[in-house]
Structure 1
């Protein structure tokens, strides 16, 4: 089968791209013929996703030429993930039978966060509609611009209408399935397909087996003279909760009566702010160490997990379901959310 895979970014950026890096080779192994369509070839410092066949970047050749080339290639099915250009997405849906993997709430929430920030952070289960406009400012669902709120609301409504053209929707969890059923999509069109988690292999955790990684972690945790090593791995944006995690470190170390080391692995717009916060925190607390790394590929992340005691997932929004928790589990690293 000829499958065209479409995404905004053609380089490893976050969860969606990590998913594609795992799925693309698996589809090739099953004998499918693949082509890739990416909107952007950036940032240049990030590793390119695998392109086993033809590949087109809209940022390089434009929308018109991209559509001409993919129509000449004549895909049997188009597998779409994140797309930033609604016009391009509509054209893709009209070109061949299309399947959407709904990774987030970009079509069902004005802000995309699916949460209330006031009076306390809480999840939202509303169906997108006029009530969202009423609650947007009082419950602090997003920004402070009424113009942006209205534009985003209109865009979300238009995308939900456009999504009726998809043949099938894939989601990673029952919670995401319920989200789309609430928005009127038929149950037989929304299918739960668990995200692939690469198995633990020799060398992933510094050459040790999974059992060895678990044992070494238990030994470290039992010695209170050593720092407990916490790991945050993900995109560095406010909703991921890095700021709250850093604020909590002094109370955590006081309760545990031992030093703490926190490693934050990833990139994103909040990284500089978190780094500044961490510098102040460490200057005021000699028993706390915080370090940052860039985005890590699968192998390097597994090696880092082998040195840690606990994965922390301090998200302030209802995560659609990522791979980081199960991946930590296969590496013998417990997780707390």
Structure 2
């Protein structure tokens, strides 16, 4: 496929750096531009740093005035009426990227409300709709009956529409399995591992004393920062923890840090626009995810900068984190095991360096920009042929 005049349209909800999806959209738009494609974007509402976000696009358009394109990719749309209109307008030129569990889990978290156990069942309108209603009424935007309709018949209709799209991409085999379990035809779902920027050169790492742990991400329940904080009193070696991110759980987490007596060891930075700077300043990346993480982009991003990783073995994490090779992967929600893994890294500088170097090598081998562009180009060509 000649990409010189090939036009791609990315469709998403937030035009700015709201979270991992938007960072992925921004990064991949820039890569496809560099490969010679024209990349347009359409979003429903602006978010953080919209001007910088716009720099990786050849044009940004409102939902009611879309440009013509050869290939349109939905990255995140939840409005059923809009989705139906997009399918009708674009036909076989429309593709879908699935980044999270929202489309087949009305609750969105993929774990049960009582006991917070993982859910591995396929979507069922009644069961999943009632599960999703087990939340605070303050989150019901349309009253009880409106919310119930949205989470039952509304979710079912959206899922039925999405299954009509014949080109679907995910970041991991784990997510591919989730989609096929939920009625997507296996031949329509393609795994395209994400591109991870690997700096050509890294300055010699100046190890901190005490070593610095780093969490980057949204401060919401599924990211498991409460589990991370509960692991801190179990650590035997000195540390500092940097928590970089923002979210509705932050006040609760700050209170928990105080209750656990670890406030002097923890810094909440708020949202940061340049997490790369923190990777260079810290020594260990910690991923305490509670939910079934679709991929965990921040892990390979940290590994690309020679940080070892400690994480719970959740979702797609095991597809890039090899226990005992580039970090430690421990059983889900086993806080003592997580603390022990972090402690081993805190205690052994040579082990940190060994894991960090191996992690960088693995990222270079598996997640290169060139390989991502090649796979995307092939996927797009299949979508328009």
TM-score by length of 1: 0.80
Tell me how large the CA RMSD over aligned residues is.
2.5
Correspondence 1:193-204 to 2 at 5 A: 193-202=192-201
Structure 2 contact 125–156 (Cα < 8 Å) conserved:
no
Structure 2 contact 129–151 (Cα < 8 Å) conserved:
no
Counterpart in the other structure of 2:102? 106
Counterpart of 1:264 in 2: which secondary structure? Answer: strand
Give the Cα separation in 2 of the matches to 1:326 and 1:118. 32
2:242 paired with 1:263:
yes
Give the Cα separation in 1 of the matches to 2:58 and 2:189. 29
Counterpart in the other structure of 1:92? 86
**Structure 1 residue 3, shift from structure 2 partner:** 1.2
**Structure 1 residue 117, shift from structure 2 partner:** 4.7
Count of residue pairs brought into register by the alignment = 297
Counterpart of 1:306 in 2: which secondary structure? Answer: helix
Structure 1 contact 41–57 (Cα < 8 Å) conserved:
no
Counterpart in the other structure of 2:72? 78
| Cα deviation digits, residues 258-286 of structure 1 (max 9, x gap) | 322111111222123323433454xx457
Counterpart in the other structure of 1:232? 215
Over 3 Å counting, the alpha-carbon distance change for 1:12 and 1:133 in structure 2 is closer
Counterpart of 1:263 in 2: which secondary structure? Answer: strand
Counterpart of 1:122 in 2: which secondary structure? Answer: coil
Gaps of 5+ in 1: 221-225
Correspondence 1:10-159 to 2 at 5 A: 10-43=15-48, 47-58=52-63, 63=64, 66=65, 70=66, 73-96=67-90, 97-119=93-115, 121-129=116-124, 132-133=127-128, 136=131, 142-143=134-135, 147=145, 148=147, 151-159=150-158
Give the Cα separation in 1 of the matches to 2:52 and 2:212. 28
Residue in structure 2 matching 1:290, options 263, 266, 275:
266
Correspondence 1:156-235 to 2 at 5 A: 156-202=155-201, 208=203, 212-213=204-205, 216-217=206-207, 220=208, 226-235=209-218
Counterpart in the other structure of 1:223? none
Counterpart in the other structure of 2:228? 245
Over 3 Å counting, the alpha-carbon distance change for 1:154 and 1:290 in structure 2 is same
Gaps of 5+ in 2: 1-5, 138-143, 312-385
Structure 1 contact 20–49 (Cα < 8 Å) conserved:
no
Give the Cα separation in 2 of the matches to 1:310 and 1:51. 30
Give the Cα separation in 2 of the matches to 1:306 and 1:228. 12
Counterpart of 2:43 in 1: which secondary structure? Answer: strand
Give the Cα separation in 2 of the matches to 1:142 and 1:172. 30
Give the Cα separation in 2 of the matches to 1:274 and 1:46. 31
Counterpart of 1:4 in 2: which secondary structure? Answer: strand
Give the Cα separation in 2 of the matches to 1:78 and 1:161. 19
Structure 1 contact 170–192 (Cα < 8 Å) conserved:
yes
Give the Cα separation in 2 of the matches to 1:285 and 1:101. 40
Counterpart of 2:33 in 1: which secondary structure? Answer: helix
Counterpart in the other structure of 2:356? none
